A = this chain, B = another copy of it.
């Protein structure tokens, strides 16, 4: 398991001492404990994903506490490749452990309030950044694949390892939470230090913030010092299942794909540029005075320069659910099976209101890419930091 100690977070816990009292932890304890980030956020992205959400059925907060204790204990053992008698058999552990497994837990809005009910007396501790996302232009969110009171992001170097961990965790949830929706994903191997390509064939993740720089990570990724004490060392996850109309995309000329993306397909360079990591050509115009990167180009609309500096940390995966039956909305209005595939968009950020929502509000209206993509599901989750030796969520749940 990867320990990343944030000096800022530790300082924040001191500064917010009153807050720690609120959370039922003594100031001395908070100060002396080391806060750690959950793995799977700032750690290297493993190539296979199993993302699973749950609806809580637990009636009492103690049941949620017991679940998070069981999950944390099992997750620590799974990530360390250890056997847990009666839970992780030596037979199952063999070959499934040393694959870079990371398990990340998140709390959805439903933990705090659901159908108007404050089931666990936690509503007052719902952080402001966990405000429900607005409905975006074009959203086609399917209820059965949206929301969730809890989430588990399981990532590993092997799909079986990622799935095996989720099976163990799901079995531990019996009686307290039931699976709501799941999405698996993969990241193709284009070699180390190369930006992977998504299913559209374009490089994906070129402008990700450099979170190895603590200043950038503290500004973009980790909960703000003024956020609730229990979220210190934590972050917020926006998950969106973004279906791509691949048959439609594959019929487009590369030149049109590039205009839509606002980047060149093979190199990843900006339109008119040469290298993947050159600045976008947002101001440049052609001899007729038209911008060489289209106003509605995806890369332009995603750029911090066009969003008052807003940035998020993308950890996206390709997803592929085989076929599903659809009726096309464009010529030749064909009915039949199409690829049910696209992007499992996972983005971590300090505050979704100034991160994902800030960026996607305009994008959902103007992005030329929208004719090829549809958001069909997803969720919003708070992924807290964790006290060393404690369980995930302890600083929230033990009031």
Give A336's nearest chain B residue, CB to CB.
B178
A320 near B159 with CB under 8 A, answer: yes
Rounded to whole angstroms, the CA-CA distance of A254 and B163 in the bound complex is: 19
Rounded to whole angstroms, the CA-CA distance of A144 and B325 in the bound complex is: 10
List B contacts of A167 (CB < 8 A): 246-247, 250, 339
Supposing A170-B247, A266-B90 touch, asked if A182 and B95 sit within 8 A by C-beta, the answer is no
List B contacts of A163 (CB < 8 A): 199, 320, 341
Determine if A161 is an interface residue (Cβ-Cβ < 8 Å).
Answer: yes
Q: Which of A32-40, A125-133, A189-197, A230-238 contacts B (4 or more CB under 8 A)?
A: A189-197
Determine if A278 is an interface residue (Cβ-Cβ < 8 Å).
Answer: no
Give a binary string over A174-211; 1 marks a CB under 8 Å from any B CB, 0 the rest. Answer: 00001111111010111100100101010000000000
Contact of A183 among B189, B194, B199, B322 (CB under 8 A): B322
Give a binary string over A137-169; 1 marks a CB under 8 Å from any B CB, 0 the rest. Answer: 000000010000000000001111101000110
List B contacts of A160 (CB < 8 A): 186, 188, 197, 199, 318
**Copies of this chain in the oligomer:** 2
Determine if A29 is an interface residue (Cβ-Cβ < 8 Å).
Answer: no
List B contacts of A199 (CB < 8 A): 160, 163
A254 near B321 with CB under 8 A, answer: no
List B contacts of A182 (CB < 8 A): 322-323, 337, 339
20 example contacts (A-B, Cβ-Cβ < 8 A) are as follows A50-B320, A89-B201, A90-B266, A91-B266, A95-B191, A95-B197, A158-B189, A159-B188, A160-B186, A167-B246, A167-B339, A170-B247, A171-B247, A178-B336, A179-B323, A179-B337, A181-B323, A181-B337, A321-B321, A321-B322
Chain A contact residues, CB within 8 Å of chain B = 50, 52, 89-92, 94-96, 144, 157-161, 163, 167-168, 170-171, 178-184, 186, 188-191, 194, 197, 199, 201, 246-247, 250-251, 254, 265-266, 318, 320-323, 325, 336-339, 341
Task: Return the 5 tightest CB-CB contacts between A and B, nearest first.
Answer: A160-B188, A91-B265, A182-B322, A91-B266, A179-B337
